């Protein structure tokens, strides 16, 4: 029995009532645009703008929004963010309530923090976790007492005058509010090589799994070297949780972070230190690809996630065509399954074209590749400035030795930059610049290059091209040999043509096809002749003035590009040709036919092509350049 359509739609979509409570602090309201993303056990929403006809997010105000989205299931976290626009973008968010109207569930997401570039940790986006989920009745949270012992390290300048805060996270997605560590057993807390003991109250959140420790970077000496923190839930005083840091929280030391998330370990004999990740970011080579904005990354693994981490260094990062390396330490997230990369759209040129990101799990000795090849820009592509990226499957690299033979004609050499793209039965390489320390591509010379790239399988064609730069860019290419070092195969790509704007057909790029893989132990075979008959259609203006060429494909190899005689191919004509291939292609399996779009009337209506070794190809197509 079929369900009514309306019922099915209701199952696939959920209505949510979102209540946003802005704090009562001075300047707590924001003029910026606010966005929310819901994450559930069945999926996640896109970033949704919280819009209303009245002025929203004023100090001490409560704002309600109704949204409908695909069902995400039970919500386990949200991402709340703003775009830092307007005259007063800073925002102090108290909490968010989300009511699932389909299931009659209410989630509470405490925040009690600034989302501001000039407050707190300077972040304008936060991942929030639900305090609890109820059926409309929110019961008061159970408070518990915690003992927090903080060990400041024994380094020069290790102590801090800043205010220090801690947030505890439990094993069911719950967390305490941010707790100010004050009233220590010492008059001056957080001094060098000192132990400070604090007794604080917070919500009971179950078994502790991690903590966030941070300071506000105020005072005459704000930098802090934290050794470790020990936390005890005084309702269960026999269990202690230990977090190892051994890092600076300082704007002028180490990685310049003043906030860290640390794993809490139950047993001192099994202390797990933070994991280390080496992140390499490749900015694309497009015009304007670099960004002046602040860039943030979030790692998602099968065990946990990091929350947004700012990627920063002392040099200018994210320049066009450059790669930037960062090392971060954070709790182990397990095997990476995705990342979120984003920027805050600040600076005079915030748009960013990201090529890819490599992430090395230093402890597990595993390398992940996250391709992007897209803009993160408000005025490019889909206008998004945040993207989820997924890891590419590990691919075996192959090594190719490329030998380029420049012809002996006068002026055959080129000053231009030369690029090659290899196409195989598995994939393709993309354009690779052929460069060496010596002058390459001189008349009558051969040049050798070695490249390493993911295995593309058996090579079936290449694209060779240059950028027409330099005093003498025109190039007469004789042939190219490519050796697949791993597979012990050599491919020969004959050309014997100009790549020049003032020679031949004026083209500076050509597809070349392999003659045949070379077997060093066999003598070369004699050339073979083929009879080709071309039928031009009987339509108005069917004939062409362009130069027509064919490429013949056999079971094991292909011919080079063969140009047929000029002055043929009139309307309703039959033209016969005998062509020579350098090797026996039998049996012929396919034939490519095309033209160079030259002449006064290049468009051509082709009826069919016939060969003595190939069945008739009924085409009846117009060959016109788009």
pLDDT beyond 70 at 273? no
What's the N-to-C CA distance of the chain in angstroms? 51
- What is the tens place of the pLDDT at every residue in 438-490? 889 999 999 999 998 777 888 999 999 999 999 999 999 999 999 998 888 89
Q: 168-201: b or e for each residue (b if 16 or more CB lie within 10 Å)? A: bbbeebbbbbbbebeebeeeebbbeebebebebe
What is the mean predicted confidence (pLDDT) over 512-528? 55
pLDDT of residue 365: 76
Q: Which residues contact 20 (CB under 8 A, 6 or more apart)?
A: 34, 50, 56, 57, 62, 63, 64, 65, 93, 96
All domains of the chain, ordered by start, with CATH? 5-134 (2.60.60.20), 143-273 (2.60.60.20), 276-389 (2.60.60.20), 397-512 (2.60.60.20), 528-623 (2.60.60.20)
CB 332 within 8 A of CB 263: yes
Q: Are 296 and 253 in contact (CB under 8 A)?
A: no
Where is 382: in which H helix or E strand?
A: none
Handedness of CA 377, 378, 381, 385 (dihedral sign): positive
Residue 103 C-alpha from the chain's centroid:
36
Span of 313-327, 438-452, 561-575 with lowest mean pLDDT: 561-575
* pLDDT > 70? residue 162: yes
Using the predicted structure, report yes or no on whether residue 616 has a pLDDT greater than 50: no
The dihedral sign for the CA sequence 595, 598, 599, 602 = positive
pLDDT at 135: 43
* Highest-confidence segment of 335-339, 531-535, 622-626: 335-339
Which among 36, 113, 24, 35 has a CA at the least distance from the CA of 61? 24
Among 211, 209, 125, smallest CA distance to 166 is for: 211
With a cut of 70, say whether residue 134 has pLDDT above it: no
Taking every pair of Cα atoms in the chain, the longest distance, rounded to a whole number of angstroms, is 103
Neighbours of 208 (CB within 10 A): 23
Cα dihedral 221→225→228→232 (10° resolution)? 10
The Cα–Cα gap between 626 and 619 comes to 18
Whether the per-residue pLDDT at 269 is higher than 50: the answer is: no
**Mean pLDDT across 583-600:** 70
As a whole number, mean pLDDT of residues 558-576 equals 74
Q: In the numeric block, which tokens belong to residue 153?
A: 């390290």
Q: How many residues are present in the chain?
A: 626
Per the CB < 8 A criterion, the answer to whether 261 and 208 are in contact is no
Say whether pLDDT at 5 is over 50: no
For residue 620, pLDDT over 70 is answered with no
Query: Cα–Cα distance between 26 and 15 in angstroms, integer?
Result: 34
Residue 455, pLDDT score:
78
What is the reported pLDDT for 505?
86
Question: pLDDT tens, 45-56?
Answer: 888 999 888 889
User: Is the pLDDT at 561 greater than 80, yes or no?
Assistant: no
Residue 49 forms beta bridges with which residues?
A: 35
Kindly report, residue by residue over 359-418, the tens digit of the pLDDT.
998 877 788 999 999 999 999 988 899 999 999 865 556 889 999 999 999 999 999 999
SS3 label, residue 172: coil
Locus of tokens 């003598």: 523
Q: Which residues does residue 374 pair with via DSSP β-bridges, in sequence order?
A: 354
Identify the pLDDT of residue 528. Answer: 63
CA dihedral 363, 367, 368, 370 (to 10 degrees): 120
Residues 579-600, mean pLDDT to the nearest whole number: 69
- At residue 245, φ and ψ (nearest 5 deg) are -115, -70
The tokens of 157 are what? 């300048």
Q: Is the pLDDT of residue 587 over 80?
A: no
Peptide bond into 248 cis (omega under 30): no
Residue 334 confidence (pLDDT) above 60: yes
The predicted structure's pLDDT at residue 560: 66
CA angle 24, 29, 32 (to 5 degrees): 160
Chain segment 20-76, per-residue pLDDT in tens: 999 888 889 999 999 999 988 778 888 899 988 888 999 889 999 999 888 888 888
Contact 423, 452 (CB under 8 A): no
Residue pair 146/136 in contact by the 8 Å Cβ criterion: no
> Is residue 299 within 8 Å of 359, Cβ to Cβ?
yes
Task: Give the pLDDT confidence score for residue 396 in this predicted structure.
Answer: 58
DSSP letter at 265 equals B
Q: Which residue has the higher pLDDT, 123 or 575?
A: 123
> In this predicted structure, what is the pLDDT of residue 12?
58
Most confident among 316-325, 452-461, 541-550, 569-578 (mean pLDDT): 316-325
Provide, rounded to the nearest whole percent, the portion of the chain with pLDDT above 90.
Answer: 44
Q: Is the pTM of this model over 0.85?
A: no
**Residue 384 phi, psi dihedral angles, 5° rounding:** -85, 145
Q: How confident is the model at residue 94 (pLDDT cuts 50, 70, 90)?
A: very high
Structure tokens at 357: 């990101």
In this predicted structure, what is the pLDDT of residue 11? 44
13-22, 524-533, 591-600: range with lowest mean pLDDT: 524-533
């Amino acid at each position: 029995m079929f369900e009514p359509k309306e019922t099915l739609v209701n199952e696939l979509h959920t209505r949510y009532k979102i209540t946003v409570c802005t704090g009562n602090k001075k300047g707590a309201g924001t003029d910026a645009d606010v966005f929310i993303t819901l994450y559930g056990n069945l999926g996640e929403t896109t970033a949704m703008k919280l819009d209303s006809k009245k002025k929203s997010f004023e100090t001490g105000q409560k704002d309600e929004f109704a949204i409908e989205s695909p069902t995400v299931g039970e919500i386990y976290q949200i991402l709340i963010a703003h775009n830092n626009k307007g005259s007063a973008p800073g925002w102090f968010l108290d909490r968010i309530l989300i009511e699932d109207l389909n299931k009659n569930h209410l989630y509470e997401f405490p925040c009690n923090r600034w989302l501001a570039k000039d407050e707190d940790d300077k972040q304008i986006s936060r991942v929030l976790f639900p305090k609890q989920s109820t059926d409309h009745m929110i019961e008061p949270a159970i408070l518990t007492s915690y003992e927090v012992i903080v060990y400041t390290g024994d380094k020069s300048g290790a102590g801090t005058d800043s205010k220090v805060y801690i947030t505890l996270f439990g094993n069911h997605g719950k967390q305490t509010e941010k707790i100010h560590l004050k009233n220590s057993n010492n008059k001056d807390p957080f001094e060098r090589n000192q132990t400070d003991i604090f007794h604080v109250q917070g919500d009971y959140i179950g078994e502790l799994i991690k903590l966030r420790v941070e300071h506000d970077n105020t005072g005459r000496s704000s930098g802090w070297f934290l050794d470790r923190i020990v936390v005890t839930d005084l309702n269960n005083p026999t269990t202690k949780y230990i977090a190892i840091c051994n890092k600076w929280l300082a704007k002028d030391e180490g990685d310049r972070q003043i906030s860290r998330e640390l794993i809490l370990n139950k047993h001192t004999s099994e202390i797990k230190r933070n994991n280390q990740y080496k992140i390499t970011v490749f900015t694309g080579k497009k015009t304007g690809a670099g960004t002046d904005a602040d860039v943030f990354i979030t790692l998602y693994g099968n065990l946990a996630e990091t929350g947004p981490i700012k990627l920063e260094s002392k040099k200018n990062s994210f320049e066009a065509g450059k790669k930037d390396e960062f090392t971060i330490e954070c709790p182990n997230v397990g095997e990476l399954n995705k990342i979120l990369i984003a920027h805050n759209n600040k600076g005079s040129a915030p748009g960013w074209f990201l090529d890819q990101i490599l992430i090395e799990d230093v402890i597990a000795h595993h390398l992940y590749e996250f391709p992007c090849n897209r803009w993160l820009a408000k005025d490019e592509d889909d206008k998004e400035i945040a993207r989820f990226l997924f890891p590419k499957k590990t691919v075996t690299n192959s090594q190719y030795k490329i030998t380029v033979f420049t012809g002996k004609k006068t002026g055959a050499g080129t000053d231009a930059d030369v690029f090659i793209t290899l196409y195989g039965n598995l994939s393709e390489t993309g354009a690779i610049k052929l460069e060496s320390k010596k002058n390459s591509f001189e008349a009558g010379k051969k040049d050798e290059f070695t490249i390493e790239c993911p295995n593309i399988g058996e090579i079936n064609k290449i694209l060779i091209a240059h950028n027409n730069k330099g005093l003498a860019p025109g190039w007469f290419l004789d042939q190219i040999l490519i050796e697949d070092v791993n597979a012990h195969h050599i491919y020969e790509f004959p050309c014997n043509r100009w790549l020049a704007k003032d020679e031949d057909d004026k083209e500076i790029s050509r597809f070349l096809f392999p003659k045949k893989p070379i077997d060093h132990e066999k003598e070369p075979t004699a050339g073979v002749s083929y009879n080709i008959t071309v039928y031009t259609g009987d339509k108005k203006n069917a004939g062409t003035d362009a130069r027509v060429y064919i490429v013949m494909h056999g079971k094991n190899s292909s011919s080079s590009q063969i140009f047929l005689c000029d002055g043929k191919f009139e309307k309703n004509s039959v033209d016969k040709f005998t062509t020579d291939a350098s090797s026996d292609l039998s049996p012929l399996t396919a034939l490519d036919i095309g033209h160079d779009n030259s002449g006064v009337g290049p468009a051509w209506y082709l009826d069919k092509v016939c060969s003595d070794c190939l069945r008739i190809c009924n085409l009846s197509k117009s060959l016109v350049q788009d």
